[in-house]
Amino acid sequence: MLDLNNLFSKYKVRKLEPEDCSIILDLQRGNPLYFEYCPPQASIKGIIDDLSTLPPGKSKEDKYFLGFFDNNQLIAIIDLIASYPREDTVYIGLFMVDSKESGKGTGSSIIEETLRWLKLEGYSRVKLAYIKENPQSKHFWTKCGFTDTGIETDNNRGRVISLVKEL
């Protein structure tokens, strides 16, 4: 189990719950480009699904759908699956920053700190995938030091490129 007390000093970080759906929806609606490449559009139903969806063989104890708050304002969300697909790996299912924070280095800073934290927690790699047609995602994750695994697959939202970063 990941210890959230070891994560961040700049932001308040906590697990997000169904009662947080309205603030998550506000953040997501500010990012229409993401949903252009990864439909359907942001919705309460989609958020509830995201809060509980797990890959096969994982339990709710492995899922960390976290919110990052600055002065009680939700500025970013990240969905982490611990020990997936291997014991030494954490999978990022979703990462999104409030559009008002775009271009300020907020997203890169949060990912950098998250990767440091995951390494302290004993993990040695992080995996994720992005929709192939989304140049914004490719640029962001490459800038954060993730590299293409050479694996390209179809999921229920489109063609995805798998990336990895060794910690």
The CATH number linked to 60 is 3.40.630.30
Output the DSSP codes for 41-83. Answer: ---HHHHHHHHH---TT--GGGEEEEEEEETTEEEEEEEEEET
Q: Is the pLDDT of residue 155 over 90?
A: no
Domain range spanning residue 120?
4-166
Sheet holding 12-15, edge to edge: 12-15, 63-70, 73-82, 89-97, 125-131, 158-166, 147-155
Helix (H, G, I), strand (E, B) or coil at 154: strand
User: Residue 33's pLDDT is what?
Assistant: 80
Helix (H, G, I), strand (E, B) or coil at 159: strand
List pLDDT tens digits, range 66-125: 999 999 999 999 999 999 999 999 999 999 999 999 889 999 999 999 999 999 999 999
pTM for this one?
0.94
Averaged pLDDT for residues 51-75: 95
Q: How far is CA 64 from the centre of its chain?
A: 9
User: Residue 4's pLDDT is what?
Assistant: 82
Burial class (CB in 10 A: 0-12, 13-18, 19+), 49: exposed
Report the C-alpha gap between 29 and 21 in whole angstroms. Answer: 12
Residues of the chain above pLDDT 70, percent = 99
List pLDDT tens digits, range 122-137: 999 999 999 998 888 9
Task: Give how many domains the chain has, as a whole number.
Answer: 1
User: Residue 41's pLDDT is what?
Assistant: 85
